[in-house]
Structure 1
Amino acid sequence: MTSEMMQDDIEASRLAFREGMSRLAAAINIVTTNGPAGVAGFTASAVCSVTDQPPTLLVCLNRSSSVAKIFETNRVLCVNALTSRHEDLSKLFGGATPQEERFSRGNWTASETGSPVLSDAVVSFDCEVADVVQSGTHHVLFCRVRGVIHGNDNDEALVYFRRRYHHIR
């Protein structure tokens, strides 16, 4: 097998993985932080529960992203699960918009850790980063939950499936 054939196989495998992951529905979140390195936020679907003893979740963050160093320094964050009304906000935090402009939209308050909380999120998890593991291109942040803020029970959640936004109740 030539080097070129191996590269083709690797690329085909990567593309098959990406297509497969597009078929895994995921909640859309805005993950925020505030601390010594400043305020920052990004849109993430790679968030999940780890354990409830102690309450812990994980967040995956691309190491080459513009906000990676800020999260690494601050070591606190808030996961804000979005409602169906937040599609534009999700796009704003997922793009190249400067950080200060991102927070000019939405109603934000400060959590106990100081991280921004979106006041009308489905739920917000205020966290301290307990551990960071590097895997491929990403940091996997293991986060101890310090507080949970429940939103309106009647809101629809914003999810991403097959590269499009959807709303579910």
Structure 2
Amino acid sequence: MTSDSILAPSHLTAGDVQKDVKHLGFFSIRQSSRINGRLGANVFQNHKPPSVRQSLFPGAVTLATVGQGDGRRGITATAVCSVTDTPPSLLVCVNRATETCTEITRLKHFSIQLLDHTSDDIALAFAGAKGLVGVWEETDQGLPQLTTAVASVCCELSSYTDVGSHRVFIGAIKDSTLEVGDALIYARAQFGRAQATL
């Protein structure tokens, strides 16, 4: 079994935990707790090993999801960002040991769900906790879509490259939905809230 979560038709069923499951992308969740979106001013004060320093960078908490029916898979990821506006594209870094990585490579499509600030339970479930969380639909492209996501983006795989333990996928954005709400962020081993100013 991998650290991937398996998406049932309307809910998520999390799989068994593997060695690297207690990470959101590159950010450790060993001491996760909710904060009010405030980060300490002296986050770079102490010199830390590289793996600890990486957790100091705030990241939006997303789910990388793929597949249909019993073949649906997903992981929590903070290593997600836009690449170009023309054509619209984004990248996501996925651990190569996961079934999510295998399925994105095979199916050449994936979706990204930007989590709402109250969805830390879903983030933790996709990072390896067990249980049923989230209400899911299927997009016109046949990809998983979380109904409570602040944004959902459907991508067609353009290219990928392997870097260490992860595969960096670049996807061409084919469709997206945007809802009103504040996104969940993760930094310094804590969840927080990114308040919208629109």
Is the shorter-chain TM-score for this pair beyond 0.5, marking a shared fold?
Answer: yes
Structure 2 distance, partners of 1:125, 1:108, is 14
Query: Is the CA contact 1:71–1:77 (under 8 Å) kept in the aligned structure 2?
Result: yes
Q: Does 1:119 align with 2:138?
A: no
Residues 100-123 of structure 1, C-alpha deviation per residue, up to 9 Å, x if partnerless?
Answer: x5xx42121111321111112111
Task: Select the structure of larger CA radius of gyration.
Answer: 1
Aligned twin of 1:63: 96
Figure out how many residues of one structure are paired with residues of the other and give that number.
148
Give the 3 Å change call, closer, same or farther, for CA 23–56 of structure 1 in structure 2. Answer: same
Amino acid at match of 1:140: V
Aligned twin of 1:25: 58
CA displacement at 1:85 relative to structure 2: 1.6
> Aligned-pair RMSD on alpha carbons?
1.8
Instruction: Classify the secondary structure of the residue corresponding to 1:113.
Output: coil
Aligned twin of 1:158: 184
Amino acid at match of 1:20: R
Aligned twin of 2:107: 74
Residues 51-76 of structure 1, C-alpha deviation per residue, up to 9 Å, x if partnerless?
Answer: 01110000001111243212221211
So what's the TM-score if we normalise by structure 1? Answer: 0.81
Matches within 5 A, 1:40-55: 40-55=73-88
Aligned twin of 1:94: 127
Structure 2 distance, partners of 1:34, 1:75, is 10
Amino acid at match of 1:165: F
**Percent of residue pairs bearing the same amino acid type:** 30
Amino acid at match of 1:123: A
Structure 2 distance, partners of 1:65, 1:120, is 25
Q: Which residue of 152, 174, 177 corresponds with 1:149?
A: 177
Structure 1 distance, partners of 2:64, 2:171, is 12
Aligned twin of 1:84: 117
Q: Which has the higher helix share?
A: 1
Query: Is the CA contact 1:131–1:143 (under 8 Å) kept in the aligned structure 2?
Result: yes
Instruction: Classify the secondary structure of the residue corresponding to 1:85.
Output: coil
Task: Flag the structure with more relative contact order, 1 or 2, with Cα contacts below 8 A and sequence separation at least 6.
Answer: 2
Q: Which residue of 62, 71, 74 corresponds with 1:38?
A: 71
So what's the TM-score if we normalise by structure 2? Answer: 0.70
Q: Does 1:168 align with 2:194?
A: yes
Structure 2 distance, partners of 1:96, 1:38, is 19
